[in-house]
Amino acid sequence: MSSSERDLEVALAAAALAADLIRNDYEDFVPIPDAPVEISTATDRGAQEIILQYLRQQFPGDSLCAEEATETLAGAAHAGHRLWVVDPIDGTRGFATKCGEFSVMIGLLIDGELAVGVVDEPIPKRVTYARRGAGCWVSEAGGSPRRCHVSTVPTLREATLIQSHSKRPGIYSNEVKALKPAKVVEVFSAGVKLALVARGEGELYLNTYSKFHDWDICAGHLLVTEAGGMVTRLLGDPITYGSTNFTQDGGLLATNGAIHAEAAAILTRLASSSGAA
């Protein structure tokens, strides 16, 4: 087994351990219909500790980056040659509302480059994963892995756009209105959205948040690129990881590649016209 294969094996095992805990807690969790965006639960923290402790056991010298302020994270290095980037429950509102739309996200950066990405969806028991240069794969409910590819839809007018749930159903942002996709699908969890693009179940994911973090996108980013797609900031600039506080700005545009230039050009024109207004 190569070192990169072992990295992926460890990431999958860590995600599976967390998914088991999450499923157990989910069964008895009382739904919170109006859960706020920033909600965090005891399950988030418990799942993160399981992941980080397992990673430290397997790779004691590796650095850790994660969303929740937990004991293992506090005692770990946060920068280094090998950096694990973890979101224990991405889309906690999907957990809190009990709609099932959330994921465990584990990514590995080696010298700042994406090396491994795992997006584990505990409720449907679906895992989409990738390692650099080895493609993107999905396993559903313990079935045999199958390789994923982005869709071949060639234009925006035929495309399905995936975004976060809007506050008012059917009322879309200026960006979505400008892109004019054929269909809009709303889902909690950036990991789930990026996995949908990687599996060819949608053509583009649009994130217009002004600020978010590496753990929100790192694992899913690799899925899309290994499946043949593209991931950039909204206006087409490359995404980098490991900045101060692991923050990201400039939004995110993930596509099947075929429509990336078209979408980025439209969003750039929109940004220019908004700035001139």
Q: Which of 89, 119, 148 is the last residue of a domain?
A: 148
Alpha helices in the chain (DSSP H): 3-28, 42-58, 71-74, 92-96, 174-179, 190-198, 214-226, 260-276
Q: Do 97 and 210 sit in the same domain of this protein?
A: no
Q: Do 138 and 7 sit in the same domain of this protein?
A: yes
**DSSP 8-state secondary structure symbol assigned to residue 157:** G
| Alpha carbons 73 and 63: distance in angstroms, whole number | 9
Q: Which domain does 230 fall in, by range?
A: 156-276
- Digit-coded pLDDT (tens) for 173-211: 889 999 999 999 999 999 999 999 999 999 999 998 888
- Digit-coded pLDDT (tens) for 239-250: 999 887 898 988
What pTM, to 2 d.p., does this model score?
Answer: 0.94
Q: How many domains does the chain have?
A: 2
Contact (Cβ atoms closer than 8 angstroms) between residue 234 and residue 253: yes
Contact (Cβ atoms closer than 8 angstroms) between residue 85 and residue 109: yes
Q: For 87, phi and psi rounded to 5 degrees?
A: -120, 105
Both tokens of 276, joined, read: 């001139």
- Digit-coded pLDDT (tens) for 213-234: 999 999 999 999 999 999 999 9
**DSSP 8-state secondary structure symbol assigned to residue 69:** -
Q: Which of 80, 115, 148 is the last residue of a domain?
A: 148
